[in-house]
């Protein structure tokens, strides 16, 4: 970030602090850095943030998976990403892979990654380590002292320490990981101290990925309703299908009750495909390569969400998903929150929605019309069509 841009940011933040003080506003959530848990837990995490991290906690960790260990001297002027994990939790296994990827990509920039596992169940984690399946530095939390000190309530939990040795973000959402890591890596030690002070006063600096370039992110488009009404959408599917017909309508219930089994994505302002499937369904698995091709082809404009439900054993479903990563996202609808209102009686079944949340096509992904419908929706959707040459 240039000196001019940084000065402008600090001036703006100063006005925000004054305004917040005048209104009696306390700690505010960071823009884009979301915390996990209910209000009570989030407040408890805020109490831990912006204070020097107790590095003696590292001394209580044992059974380090690599020759290197983490201590006060090894993380000096480094950013430290810590994940509390549990080998029996499928999402923790995904988090281990995420940590390994961040270590590869950002290790030279000063990022240290560490996975901390409870004493209970360590044998299973040690077995994975011995088999070479864990590619990130991992240690056992003897007596669970580390987890208690950082307030970890449900693995996986993420924590970030800045270059000044301060715990900046405690138990935050995985969807905020890229933004949070990027911000702290861009800070110098002095900037980390200054920004943590601002954060403790009620303002958190969550810069976008383009902050160093001095360019502004594009403002979200405001699309008039009539633009969607007059768009040349693909013809609706007139074939009979084993679900309630919601073509031309929004979902009967909003998404949000599903558990993300892959890294959580920002689905705002994207064309969405919901793919209802199960691991035991041969035609569902047969559609997977085609769905991956679509996701890769239209990355940035399309998000494909494969949704499993109670018709598939939860443990088996999660094990399958973790073991066979896809280009698209995977979610699990344990309570059939979307399955039941949609009336899905047979799978595979797909729903194609434009960026205004209206279902434009619905049916079997193996239908010859499905891929053409996806292409057409992306071509004519006002979110992408307007302003293009």
Whether pLDDT at 12 is above 70: no
Q: Say what the pLDDT of residue 171 is.
A: 95
Which of the four pLDDT bands, split at 50, 70 and 90, describes residue 220? low
Strand partners, 118: 141
pLDDT tier at 322, thresholds 50, 70, 90: confident
Question: Would you say residue 93 has pLDDT above 50?
Answer: yes
Question: What pLDDT is recorded for position 89?
Answer: 85
Residue 176: what pLDDT? 87
pLDDT band at 67 (very low <50, low <70, confident <90, very high): confident
Q: How many whole angstroms separate alpha carbon 117 and alpha carbon 129?
A: 12
Q: Tell me the pLDDT band of 211, cut-offs 50, 70 and 90.
A: very low
CA 196 to chain centre: 23
Per-residue pLDDT, averaged over 137-157, amounts to 95
The tokens describing 325, both together, are 């990563």
Looking at the predicted structure, is the pLDDT value of residue 294 above 50? yes
What pLDDT is recorded for position 72?
94
Residue 110 has pLDDT above 70, yes or no: yes
Domain 25-213 matching CATH 3.40.30.10: the answer reads yes
- Residue 210, pLDDT score: 39
- The separation between CA 149 and the C-alpha centre of its own chain, rounded to angstroms, equals 25
Q: How far from chain centre, in Å, is Cα 100?
A: 16
- Residue-wise pLDDT tens digits, 343-356: 999 999 999 999 99
Instruction: Give CA separation, 109 vs 69, 100, 186, 187, 211, in Å.
Output: 19, 15, 9, 11, 16
The beta strands (E) that lie in the chain are given as 51-52, 61-62, 79-84, 111-118, 138-141, 157-161, 166-170, 259-260, 271-276, 302-309, 329-333, 349-353, 359-363
Integer-rounded Cα Rg, in Å, for the chain is 23
Structure tokens at 111: 């990022």
pLDDT of residue 201: 80
Closest CA to 351 of 313, 282, 305, 311: 305
**156: nearest Cα among 261, 66, 56:** 261
188 in the Ramachandran plot: left (φ > 0), alpha (ψ -120 to 50) or beta? beta
**Model confidence band, residue 19 (pLDDT cutoffs 50, 70, 90):** very low
CATH number 3.30.465.10 given to 225-385: no
Examine domains 25-213 and 225-385 and report if their fold is the same: yes
Cβ 178 vs Cβ 185: under 8 Å: no
Scanning the structure block, which residue is given the tokens 């864990």? 134
Stretch 2-9: mean pLDDT, rounded?
38
What is the tens place of the pLDDT at every residue in 161-207? 999 999 999 999 988 899 999 999 999 999 999 999 988 887 655 45
- Provide the mean pLDDT of the chain: 86
pLDDT at position 4 is: 36
Enumerate the domain spans of the chain: 25-213, 225-385
Segment 110-116 mean pLDDT: 97
Looking at residue 122, what DSSP letter applies? H
- Do 139 and 63 contact (CB within 8 A), yes or no? yes
């Amino acid at each position: 970030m240039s000196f001019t841009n940084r000065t402008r940011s600090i001036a703006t933040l100063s006005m925000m602090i004054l305004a917040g003080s005048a209104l009696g506003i306390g700690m505010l959530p960071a823009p884009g850095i979301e915390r996990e848990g209910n209000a009570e837990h989030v407040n408890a995490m805020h109490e831990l943030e912006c204070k020097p991290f107790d590095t003696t906690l590292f001394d209580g960790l044992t059974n380090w998976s690599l020759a290197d260990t983490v201590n006060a001297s090894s993380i000096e002027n480094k950013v430290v990403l810590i994940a509390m994990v549990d080998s029996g939790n499928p999402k923790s296994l995904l988090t281990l892979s995420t940590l390994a990827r961040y270590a590869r990509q950002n290790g030279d920039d000063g990022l240290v990654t560490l996975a901390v596992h409870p004493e209970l169940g360590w044998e299973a984690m040690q077995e994975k380590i011995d088999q070479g399946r864990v590619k990130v530095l991992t240690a056992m939390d003897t007596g669970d002292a580390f987890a208690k000190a950082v307030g970890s309530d449900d693995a996986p939990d993420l924590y970030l320490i800045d270059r000044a040795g301060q715990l900046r973000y405690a138990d935050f959402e995985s969807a905020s990981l890229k933004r949070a890591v990027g911000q702290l890596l861009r800070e110098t030690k002095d900037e980390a101290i200054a920004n943590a002070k601002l954060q403790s006063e009620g303002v958190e600096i969550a810069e976008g990925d383009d902050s160093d370039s001095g360019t502004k992110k594009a403002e979200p488009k405001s699309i008039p309703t009539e633009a969607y009404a007059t768009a040349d959408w693909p013809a609706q599917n007139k074939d009979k299908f084993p679900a309630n017909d919601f073509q031309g309508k929004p979902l009967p219930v909003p998404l949000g009750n599903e558990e993300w089994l892959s890294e959580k994505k920002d689905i705002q302002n994207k064309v969405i495909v919901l793919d209802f499937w199960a691991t035991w369904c041969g035609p569902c698995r047969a559609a997977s390569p085609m769905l991956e091709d679509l996701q890769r082809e239209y990355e940035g404009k399309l998000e494909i969400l494969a949704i499993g439900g109670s018709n598939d054993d939860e443990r088996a479903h999660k094990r399958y998903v973790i073991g066979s990563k896809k280009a698209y996202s995977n979610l699990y609808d344990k309570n059939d929150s979307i399955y039941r209102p949609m009336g899905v009686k047979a799978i595979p079944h797909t729903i194609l929605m434009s960026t205004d949340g209206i279902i434009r096509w619905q049916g079997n992904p193996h239908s010859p019309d499905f891929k053409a419908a996806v292409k057409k929706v992306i071509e004519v959707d006002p979110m992408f069509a307007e302003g293009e040459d």
